[in-house]
Amino acid sequence: MDELRIWLLGGFRAAVNGQELPEAAWRLRKARAIVKVLALTPGRRIHRERLAEALWPGLPVAAAANQLRKALHEVRQVLGADRVGSVGDQLSLHADFVDVSAFETAVLAARRSGEPEAYQAAVDLYGGDLLPEDRYEEWAEPHTDRLRREAHELLVEWAALLEARADVDAAIAALRRVLADEPSHEEAGAALMRLQALAGRRSAAMAEYDALRLALDRDLGVTPSAATERLYAQIRAGRMTPPELTADLWHQVGDLRSVAGDLLGARLAYESALGSAAAPDRARLHRKAASALVMCHDPAAAERHLRAAGAQPADAAERARLLDVRANWLCELGRLDDALATAEDALAAATEHGTTQDLATVNETLAIVHHFRGDWREGMHSELHRLELDDDQAFARIFDLHHCIGQYHLYGDDLSAGVEDYALRTLNAATQRGALRAQAFAWCLLGESLLLHGRWDEAEGCLERSAEIHGELGPNSGALPWQRLAELAAVRGDSESAAAALRRGMAIAGVSPLARHTWGRLYATAALDAVERGYPEEALRAVRSAAAAAARHGECPSCAALLNPIAAETCAALGDVASADLHAAAAERVAGMFDSSAWRAMAETARASVDAAKGESAAAQEHFAAGVALYGRALMPFWAARTTMQAAQVGPAAAGQLDAAIEVFDRIGAVRRLRNAQGMAAF
């Protein structure tokens, strides 16, 4: 078959065997439109009636179908008869390259890697707005808006990576591309202000503010945000000398990159700040650089900053913070007893001299140290007895982290069996103390365990109680019980309830201080529900949203573990093997983190989805069978039965397997899956 390449960004072009087709090759404008719509549709498959309705919306059904047949005849003449296939009422386009697909895969790869070079490669693939010749066509508009928004987000993310690495001119150029297209893009405008100030161009930075303010008023009828106004005031302030301003701005860049999970960029920004920082700030900057390096698993490089921080003059609160970083450093070195002792010293110092945020941070460190020591459960109970955990919203962060660590216990081979008993003991202790946050944590952990083990009716009440208590405590915690309630509704087949629970969870995640632990879970659940309903295109939107959220907020691999196999399954179903393979590789990395049959099962099913998309049925069957066995070992009946169905879709099921899956779905209440499995068994 001749090679077919299609470009849609910046204008439609098609080439066969390297020879671009001239415009004169197309007699009918609608023939080209058929190719465009098929190339844009996920999976490059579309129902005949849907295509006819999109291209001839004003015609009666029969007349539109007749026009479609004429246009299809021309497409096959121009591209080759085998390039547009037809199976029943489904039409499909067989192309070797579509620039939109290549761009979207490159965006995913860039966000997965966090490397500026990968972002450059993705940006280079965006050849301009989608099909400018069709900008007013109703079928093109949603794709145009989505791709333009994706390109803008990509450029802003790329600029942030370049900024942290002191490539100021390249970052400015990236942001100017956004603002040339959308002058009221406030994030890009504020970043450009900061970059101009970092380059020593204060008057240019203030001019950027004026341009942004006018664009916001003209285009949106709003004023700059409080954060942008603070940045402007900081740049404008005459009392701040250029070196002081530069150090402070680099410090801000470091904090922004740290929040986004770009720890290398954070470290580089903090080191840039050190070049012009005043003496009182140097201890803090060395401490933050050391913390970023510890989180990058580079304790040797962190030690230099720890020593430098210790040699600088600092107040008692800053010395307490340095002890906290040192405890994490010792933990990274495997000196766990020393880490625990140092963390306890940091706790004592923070209690006497620090803020509530400092206390929350040290308690997070203690949780991590206890986790690596293997006594997290006992450490959690010690924490419960020494803290009044309901007094301040800052302590919500601690329980977000405990929920993260709890995933290792929920999914760990040697730990999951004891989670239910531990959650009940924690609930009893928390109830005796009247500690509401701990009660909410325990109810959620108990509900999660029951959910995974197929005891759904019991799980629902526990998760609802957790969400109810969180609702009493404030707006910035409690996303996890809502996410798990959405997951429960999705696997039951109640998509309406799943959507409602996801809305609640996403509202909380938007203000959560540890959003990186929640967004991946929420979007994974949204994708799961869409897949369960048979809408892979909708699932793909959730997968893309998850990648964008991870680029902004960072990502916790263990918390987002479910996203990878569902994303691989979604992309494979749509024929996007390259993206499916990226998600399968991510699932395999998570599976290598910990002794977890469940996480290994996720990796096996993700790889099976890729094999199935490649047409390698025997390999897919083998991986699915491994997934079934591993989910069975993890005592996760729904997922074992679901994987059995996946295996049956790519090859003959072993005797009795579908019947066993049907029995599981019936017993646990998976209504939609039960109906589907019964339909499969009937054939």
Bridge partners of 46? 91
Provide the total of helices (H) and of strands (E) in the chain, helices listed first: 33, 7
State both tokens at 183: 């002058």
Tell me which CATH code domain 4-95 carries.
1.10.10.10
pLDDT tens sequence across 515-554: 888 999 999 999 999 999 999 999 999 999 999 999 988 8
Sign of the Cα torsion 311, 314, 315, 316 reads negative
Nearest to 10 by CA among 121, 131, 125, 99: 131
Nearest to 533 by CA among 683, 652, 679, 671: 671
pLDDT at 511 over 90: no
Q: Are 502 and 526 in contact (CB under 8 A)?
A: yes
pLDDT at 81: 87
What global pTM score does this model have? Answer: 0.91
- DSSP per-residue codes, 234-292: HHH-TTS-HHHHHHHHHHHHHHHHHHTT-HHHHHHHHHHHHTT--HHHHHHHHHHHHHH
Mean pLDDT within 589-611: 96
Query: Measured between alpha carbons, how far is residue 124 from residues 110, 120, 121, 132, 497 in Å?
Result: 12, 6, 5, 18, 42
Mean pLDDT within 664-675: 95
Mean pLDDT within 226-240: 84
pLDDT tens sequence across 163-193: 999 999 999 999 999 999 999 999 999 999 9
Ranges 274-283, 422-431, 459-468, 593-602: which has the least confidence: 274-283
User: How far is Cα 100 from Cα 373, in angstroms, rounded to an integer?
Assistant: 48
* DSSP-based three-state secondary structure for 600: helix
User: How far is Cα 301 from Cα 290, in angstroms, rounded to an integer?
Assistant: 8
pLDDT at 239: 46
Nearest to 291 by CA among 329, 330, 252, 247: 329
pLDDT at 241: 56
Share of the chain above pLDDT 70, in %: 97
Kindly list the domain boundaries of the chain, sorted by start residue: 4-95, 102-138, 561-682
**Residue 355's CB: how many other CB atoms inside 10 A?**
14
Nearest to 26 by CA among 75, 80, 95: 75
pLDDT at 35 over 60: yes
In this prediction, residue 238 has a pLDDT band, given cuts at 50, 70 and 90, of low
Bridge partners of 14? 6
Q: Which helix (H) or strand (E) holds 527?
A: helix 519-533
